[in-house]
Amino acid sequence: MSVQSEFAELARSGGRGALVTVLRGPGEGAKLLVRADGSSSGSLGEGLDDVALRHAEELMWDERSEAREEGESLLFVDVVHPAPRVIIFGAVDYAAAMVSLARTIGWRPYIVDPRSRFATPERFPDAEEIVVGWPEEAFARLGGIDRATSIVVLTHDPKLDDAALSIALRSDAAFVGAMGSRRAQAQRRERLLALGMTDAELDRLAAPVGLDLGAMSSEETALSILAEVVAMRHGREGGRLSQVKGGRIHEVGA
């Protein structure tokens, strides 16, 4: 299979990868395919492969395509990637609302809960997958945690919370958040410190999770949580657009 064909197959199957093409300069037209695991096929020649690998690695996880200048050469890094993934711990009412909203905005929502009577397809028909199990087992079944994964813990059970967060906060996850009052967060932090987690690891935790929308219902709470997840994914603070000074408002123009 040619690198062009493999790249097209990645796009069709919802895979992740980058196809680097020399648009100008020595080796014009040469292509290098870089996969999510760092392996590659093809070559750009003229000592460009190493720098192309770095650009591809950066952009495939930033999930954007871009042209890059390298000396006399102009490289175009074309990126494909799957829909964003959010793993939700706790088969609660808030989770049901989150799953429905995540699907609406084009995300892939997963539900994890060791309680089989709650984690059912009937309660979560829009979930990409429902995993009945504890966090370590669930993460393994879901293929691990990569830099494009967001994790939200909605349970109020310290055994499940602490087990999930101990793994998530030491992973490559793009976002880790947890529900609970400020008092509950303080107690959780003390428990996790006692388990050997560091302040730096715990500082990654967004808790209480969500933006300050004044949410009242499960649906509004789901909106608040996903709004923070989306904002962090794009490096935004989540403030009011009417108060933004300069820069692009939306990535897709109205």
Query: Does 253 score more than 50 pLDDT?
Result: no
Asked if residue 178 lies in contact with residue 186, where contact means CB atoms within 8 angstroms, the answer is no
Q: What percent of the chain has pLDDT over 90?
A: 84
Across the range 55-62, mean pLDDT stands at: 95
Query: Does 50 score more than 50 pLDDT?
Result: yes
Domains of the chain and CATH, by start: 3-80 (no CATH), 85-233 (3.40.50.720)
Asked if residue 16 lies in contact with residue 81, where contact means CB atoms within 8 angstroms, the answer is yes
Look up residue 129 and give its two tokens: 């997958």
Residue 11, H or E segment = helix 3-13
What pLDDT band is residue 45 in, cutting at 50, 70 and 90? confident
Across the range 133-145, mean pLDDT stands at: 94
What are the pLDDT digits (tens) for 210-245?
A: 999 999 999 999 999 999 999 999 888 888 887 777
Which residue(s) pair with 22 in the sheet? 75
For residue 240, the model assigns a pLDDT of 80
Query: Does 254 score more than 80 pLDDT?
Result: no
Across the range 103-123, mean pLDDT stands at: 96
